Amino acid sequence: MEDELLSITQICKDLHIGRQAFYNWMEDKKGFKEMVKSAMERRDETLMATVYSSIKRKLEGYTTVIEKDIYVPDMDNTTNLIFKQKVIIKKEYQPDLKTIKMLLDRNDKKKAALSPTPVKSRKRDFT
């Protein structure tokens, strides 16, 4: 469940059991219920770590590198290939402004909820 990020429905299908049987085990077998709950918590922690990592990447921008080796047929023996060149393509991705705006707006809402006096929301235009 936690390693493959599977849902209960997917697990039941893989094990060829009904969802009702799964939930009956959850009610009847205390150890089973605790193991499932623990696995679900670890799965959720893994998912959240992935989410935060993805958001961080979108906030900071990133670079991808694609490497290609190009081979051509050998003039003497056409069944053999010889290395011609290596092509390296780097692509820069700028920080995502929609993600930045979303997090700033969310932060403003949190501050407004915690503040005893009303906080004016700032209008942001990143276009």
Of 92, 91, 89, 108, nearest in space to 60 by CA: 92
Confidence of residue 124 (pLDDT cuts 50, 70, 90): low
Q: Any idea how long the chain is?
A: 127
- Residue 92 near residue 61, CB atoms below 8 Å: yes
Residue 104 backbone dihedrals phi, psi, to 5 degrees: -65, -45
> Where do the structural domains in the chain lie, given as residue ranges?
8-95, 96-127
Q: State pLDDT tens for residues 22-67.
A: 999 989 988 999 998 898 899 889 888 999 999 999 999 999 999 9
